[in-house]
Structure 1
Amino acid sequence: MNAEHTAVGAYALGVLDDADAARFEEHLAGCPRCAAELDDLMGLTPLLGELQESTPDPEILTAAPRPELLDRLLQDVGAARRARRTRRLWLVAAAVVLIVAGPLVGAALTARDAPDHSSVSAAKEMYEEGDKKGAVDADTDVDATVSLQSKPWGTHVALKLAHVRGPLTCDLVAVGRNGQEQTVTTWAVPASGYGLPGAATKWGREPLYTHGGAAFNRADIARFEVRTLDGKRLATVPM
């Protein structure tokens, strides 16, 4: 076996003299095997550092490493310890984030994949809390009631809609006293419709609750119109 291959441990401990150390370093530059072994042996440097810190008399050591190598190894030990401590802190922080956010993330994924009944419930609650204005259109028989709440940004609007057959795509439009229009919210009416007493399904028999907002102040709104996206007016609610 090549003598340089057996010098890895001695070099790591710093017990080679200058000539032998120089020869080994020349060998190391072209020997991946020794480089890998030296990298593994560098894991022993924390033990050297702790031994130096805990030994009051350096003569107790049977082998005296070169001072410059030992200093370098001890610097590596300190850097490695700091790196390990930093990694541990990052891992702990990541674990805390997962522990705290995990239920929320899981809930969000579940909510994304499930029907959004909570938004319907929220719209119904908002509808119950506001001031209501309603009308039944004489031509279409569509029953529309808006529930209004004044906000610093304008007017919050919740809508209850019944007696409408689908399939349709509709929007609720706020018409200002100055003639300007703002779309409050848009939705689709399924084939089963909304709020139809003779509907085959429960959802068809239930009215639609939805909500949105307009930048108009409440006093500046002249009326609300329920329209299909192709321009047909289904109901008008005057203010």
Structure 2
Amino acid sequence: MRPTEPVEHTDVGAYALGVLDAAEAARFEEHLAGCDRCAAELDDLMGLPPLLADAREAAPDPEAVTPVPGPGLLDGLLAEVGAVRRTRRRRRLYLVAAAAVLVAGGPLTTYALTAGDTDETPEHLASYARTMYEHGEKAGTVDPVTKVAASVSMERKPWGTHVALKLGNVKGPLTCDLVAIGKNGAEQTVTTWAVPAGGYGLKDGATKWNKEPLYTHGGAAMNRSTIDRFEVRTLDGRRLAEIKV
């Protein structure tokens, strides 16, 4: 995405991989708050950064010097993801070779992630995050003021802590993040997402999607033993829930 170009739906891939600059990311977040399509795709793609970190750990020669791919290769990569989703093939291929270099910083690695039918349903879009949520140490809360229901599932990793979030009873439109707070007061953003106008996990939701909770996930470079709590916040700093762990 170039400064003079409008925000495009395909920018969700670059945003998830963290390759947008600060201005581009801020502009995309404004777009994200009002775009259910991009919010859904971002939820589906947020699993890539932790996987790429795992790829780096598993690489046979982490000191190898690999040329950084040019923007053309990254554009083609993201176009492949979008094309596969549009055609709703039974099997999806996420080619993340370039992203492995950009995000993990290690040797060139290719991952193929497959899934079932790509119908745009909450069950499909949250399938990976939901699976990650089922495994791990869990903690949760219902905020007494906002009534937002939030719970996390934590899994220890060599690089830190993998965190899956389950969020319900939240209305939009909002753009939020999950922040890990250490016992020493240090903070790290685990993941960022958008809540559409219809919300998530609402008993009176207008659609099945709105009635389902949101599942998303990300990672923190903190060891599990050093994490004191998590906070769900809007990007303007309003706290929606606090989860003590």
**TM norm structure 1:** 0.53
**Which of 96, 111, 114 matches 2:85?**
111
Question: Are the aligned partners of 2:161 and 2:223 in contact in 1 as well (CA < 8 Å)?
Answer: yes
- Report how many residues are paired: 135
Q: Pick closer, same or farther for the CA change 1:142–1:107 going to 2, 3 Å.
A: closer
Matches within 5 A, 1:108-187: 109-111=83-85, 118=124, 120-187=126-193
Equivalent pairs: percent with the same residue? 62
Task: Name the structure 1 match of 2:23.
Answer: none
Question: Are the aligned partners of 2:121 and 2:209 in contact in 1 as well (CA < 8 Å)?
Answer: no
Using the TM superposition, give the Cα deviation of residue 130 of structure 1 relative to its aligned residue in structure 2, in angstroms: 1.3
Report which of the two structures shows the higher radius of gyration computed on alpha carbons: 1
Q: Pick closer, same or farther for the CA change 1:202–1:152 going to 2, 3 Å.
A: same
Using the TM superposition, give the Cα deviation of residue 113 of structure 1 relative to its aligned residue in structure 2, in angstroms: 6.6
Q: Deviations over 1:204-228 (max 9, x none)?
A: 1000000000000001001000000
Task: Name the structure 1 match of 2:198.
Answer: 192
Q: Deviations over 1:147-168 (max 9, x none)?
A: 0000000000000000000000
Unpaired runs of 5+ residues, structure 1, are 1-104
SS of aligned partner of 1:192: coil
Q: Pick closer, same or farther for the CA change 1:167–1:113 going to 2, 3 Å.
A: farther
Please identify which structure carries the higher helix content.
Answer: 1
SS of aligned partner of 1:226: strand
SS of aligned partner of 2:129: helix
SS of aligned partner of 2:84: helix
Using the TM superposition, give the Cα deviation of residue 198 of structure 1 relative to its aligned residue in structure 2, in angstroms: 0.5
Q: Does residue 237 in structure 1 map to residue 211 in structure 2?
A: no
Distance 1:184 1:227 in 2: 11
Using the TM superposition, give the Cα deviation of residue 112 of structure 1 relative to its aligned residue in structure 2, in angstroms: 6.1
Post-superposition, which runs of at least 4 consecutive aligned residues in structure 1 deviate over 6 A?
105-108
Q: Which amino acid aligns with 2:226?
A: D
Distance 2:205 2:125 in 1: 23
Q: Pick closer, same or farther for the CA change 1:150–1:199 going to 2, 3 Å.
A: same
Q: Pick closer, same or farther for the CA change 1:222–1:112 going to 2, 3 Å.
A: farther
Q: Which amino acid aligns with 1:204?
A: N
Question: Are the aligned partners of 2:182 and 2:228 in contact in 1 as well (CA < 8 Å)?
Answer: yes
Distance 1:165 1:188 in 2: 11
Distance 1:142 1:219 in 2: 26
Q: Deviations over 1:15-60 (max 9, x none)?
A: xxxxxxxxxxxxxxxxxxxxxxxxxxxxxxxxxxxxxxxxxxxxxx
Task: Name the structure 2 match of 1:15.
Answer: none
Q: Pick closer, same or farther for the CA change 1:112–1:224 going to 2, 3 Å.
A: farther
SS of aligned partner of 1:155: strand
Question: Are the aligned partners of 2:176 and 2:195 in contact in 1 as well (CA < 8 Å)?
Answer: yes
Q: Pick closer, same or farther for the CA change 1:162–1:178 going to 2, 3 Å.
A: same
Q: Deviations over 1:71-96 (max 9, x none)?
A: xxxxxxxxxxxxxxxxxxxxxxxxxx
Higher relative contact order (CA 8 A, sep 6+): 2
